[in-house]
């Protein structure tokens, strides 16, 4: 037993700094005040030693999801059965349930089953937890970086309380770094470390709110620094060498993909070229498919710029073609040009709004036959039936104005396209008004 205890202690000492510094109580947790702050629901449940509900912890990496799950089990005095959806399958789920049943028979308490990356389980695997959550065999806590509304079964989601965790502020990460430097038992307190001014602040900022990342980068920087007279002087240059580039939570197939794309489009719509360029860079610098960005710009050019500036679509399509032809990294020039053009030009959604109105009438009204005068009389039989009768060839009319209607009789008078009084569309608006006035006069 002594040898086993020793090996466990050795394993603990060799674990990454982020794991060694994992909070052992709620008092040691930094951040997440909205979830575990004084008076918050989860805090009240834990302090009252109540049986916790099943929960989903949703948040970016390194925000304390696993730590909170462990603390929930500790405070509620429940056995903690962890496993990862990345490496486990339905077999491991069944084994965990059997363990929970056995423990419940012994002391009457459920086990707390913690599933990291629960969004990686398919629907069938998630469904396997349902009856055991319902009958009280287990308390389930799932951790996910993805939106549980899309990644967790509705049935399972309805039986769990969702807690949203946020990335830590730089000041909160700094507190954790300083704590690790001072802790002689689990941290780096036994190492004589001198820090160049601004080093800790840079480490905290580079982690983008990821506590685990910041602590492990600190440990790496300390290890990479040679000792001089028994002391290690960690510099900004060392931090740069060990980090290479900023930590990013961007996932080209996850929530960040959609959230940042949404921010780009809304910045374009709001005519803010600086914000639009920032979100464009966030996507491209984090490995987003540049053709995805180009497609969004083409859609925006028609949806939000439209006929207020018809050149917008030309610029967007040209940028898409340039991106396909040139590729990254140089394609960022074309995409930046299109982004700034679309952000700073006149906007109109009238074309798309008009289509929506027309599509509504297609669904909501009778789809009457095409009026005879608009049909092409391709044969003598068709001509005899009145196809094309009364049709006025616009090019033969004065000012190219015809007096007959082009909609089915039941829809005559409908107005779908309402040009706005902006950019080129203002000229279209005036032209349509003048044309209608002349048509009525005839």
Residue 358 is encoded by which pair of tokens? Answer: 């027309």
Of 411, 408, 419, 193, nearest to 310 by C-alpha is: 419
Chain-centre distance for alpha carbon 220: 30
Categorise residue 168: left if φ over 0, alpha if ψ from -120 to 50, beta otherwise: beta
Contact 163, 55 (CB under 8 A): yes
Nearest-angstrom CA–CA distance, 167 and 59: 7
Residue 249 is encoded by which pair of tokens? Answer: 């939570």
pTM metric for this prediction: 0.71
Nearest-angstrom CA–CA distance, 276 and 185: 48
Nearest-angstrom CA–CA distance, 277 and 442: 52
pLDDT of residue 239: 86
As to burial, measured by CB atoms within 10 angstroms (0-12 exposed, 13-18 middle, 19+ buried), residue 362 is exposed
Of 142, 131, 139, nearest to 58 by C-alpha is: 142
N-terminal to C-terminal alpha carbon distance within the chain: 105
Each residue's pLDDT, cut to its tens digit, for the chain (442 residues) gives 444 454 555 546 678 998 999 999 888 899 889 988 888 888 888 887 778 889 999 988 889 999 999 999 998 888 898 888 877 777 878 888 888 888 888 777 888 999 998 888 888 888 888 888 888 888 999 999 888 888 888 888 888 899 999 989 999 999 999 999 999 989 998 888 888 898 899 988 888 889 998 999 999 889 888 888 888 898 888 888 888 766 666 666 667 788 899 999 999 999 999 999 999 999 998 889 999 999 999 999 999 999 999 999 999 999 999 999 999 999 999 999 999 999 999 999 999 999 999 999 999 988 988 898 888 888 989 888 898 888 888 888 888 888 888 888 888 888 898 999 999 999 989 988 888 888 888 7
Nearest-angstrom CA–CA distance, 346 and 425: 9
Residue 146 is encoded by which pair of tokens? Answer: 């993805």
H-helix or E-strand containing 114? strand 111-116
Fold of 170-243: Helicase, Ruva Protein; domain 3 (1.10.8)
pLDDT of residue 81: 87
H-helix or E-strand containing 161? strand 161-164
Contact 31, 168 (CB under 8 A): yes
Nearest-angstrom CA–CA distance, 160 and 112: 13
Largest CA distance in the chain: 107
Nearest-angstrom CA–CA distance, 186 and 206: 23
Residues with Cβ < 8 Å from 81, sequence gap 6 or more?
A: 96, 99, 100, 111, 112, 113, 114, 138
Total H helices, total E strands in the chain: 22, 8
Q: Which CATH architecture has domain 32-164?
A: 3-Layer(aba) Sandwich (3.40)
Domain ranges in the chain are 32-164, 170-243, 255-344, 370-441
Of 160, 130, 132, 143, nearest to 85 by C-alpha is: 143
pLDDT of residue 300: 97
Q: For the structural domain made of 255-344, what CATH number should be given? A: 1.20.272.10
The torsion angles phi and psi of 78, rounded to 5 degrees, stand at -115, 145
Q: What top-level class would CATH report for the domain 370-441?
A: mainly alpha
pLDDT of residue 344: 95
Q: Where are the beta strands (DSSP E) in 229-270?
A: 231-234
Residues with Cβ < 8 Å from 367, sequence gap 6 or more?
A: none
């Amino acid at each position: 037993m002594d040898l086993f205890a020793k090996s466990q202690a050795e394993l603990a000492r060799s674990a990454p700094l982020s794991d060694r510094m994992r909070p052992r109580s709620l008092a040691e947790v930094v951040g997440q005040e909205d979830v575990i702050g004084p008076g918050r629901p989860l805090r009240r449940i834990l302090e009252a030693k109540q049986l916790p509900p099943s929960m989903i912890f949703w948040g970016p990496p390194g925000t304390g999801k696993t730590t909170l799950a462990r603390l929930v089990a500790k405070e509620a005095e429940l056995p903690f059965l962890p496993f990862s959806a990345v490496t486990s399958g339905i077999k491991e789920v069944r084994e965990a349930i059997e363990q929970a049943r056995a423990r419940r028979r012994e002391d009457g308490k459920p086990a707390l089953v913690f599933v990291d990356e629960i969004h990686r389980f398919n629907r069938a695997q998630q469904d396997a937890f349902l009856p055991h959550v319902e009958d009280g065999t287990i308390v389930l806590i799932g951790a996910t970086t993805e939106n549980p509304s899309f990644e967790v079964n509705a049935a399972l989601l309805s039986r769990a309380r969702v807690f949203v965790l946020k990335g830590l502020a730089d000041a909160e990460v700094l507190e954790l770094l300083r704590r690790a430097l001072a802790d002689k038992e689990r941290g780096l307190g036994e190492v004589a470390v001198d820090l160049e001014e601004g080093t800790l602040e840079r480490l905290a900022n580079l982690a983008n709110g990821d506590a685990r990342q910041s602590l492990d980068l600190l440990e790496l920087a300390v290890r990479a620094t040679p000792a001089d007279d028994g002391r290690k002087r960690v510099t900004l240059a060392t931090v740069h060498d060990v980090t290479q580039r900023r930590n990013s939570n961007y996932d080209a197939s996850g929530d960040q993909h959609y959230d940042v794309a949404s921010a780009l489009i809304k910045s374009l719509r709001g005519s803010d070229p600086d914000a639009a360029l920032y979100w464009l860079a966030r996507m491209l610098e984090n490995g987003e498919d540049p053709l995805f960005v180009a497609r969004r710009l083409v859609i925006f050019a028609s949806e939000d710029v439209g006929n207020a500036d018809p050149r917008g679509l030309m610029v967007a399509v040209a940028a898409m073609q340039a991106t396909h032809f040139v590729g990254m990294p140089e394609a960022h020039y074309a995409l930046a040009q299109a982004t700034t053009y679309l952000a700073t030009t006149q906007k109109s959604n009238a074309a798309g709004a008009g289509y929506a109105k027309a599509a509504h009438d297609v669904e909501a009204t009778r789809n009457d036959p095409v009026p005879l005068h608009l049909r092409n009389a391709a044969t003598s039989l068709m001509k005899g039936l009145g196809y094309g009768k009364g049709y006025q060839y616009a090019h033969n009319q004065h000012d190219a104005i015809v007096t007959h209607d082009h909609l089915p009789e039941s829809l005559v008078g409908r107005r779908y396209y309402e040009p706005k009084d902006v950019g080129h569309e203002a000229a279209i608006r005036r032209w349509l008004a003048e044309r209608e006035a002349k048509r009525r006069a005839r």
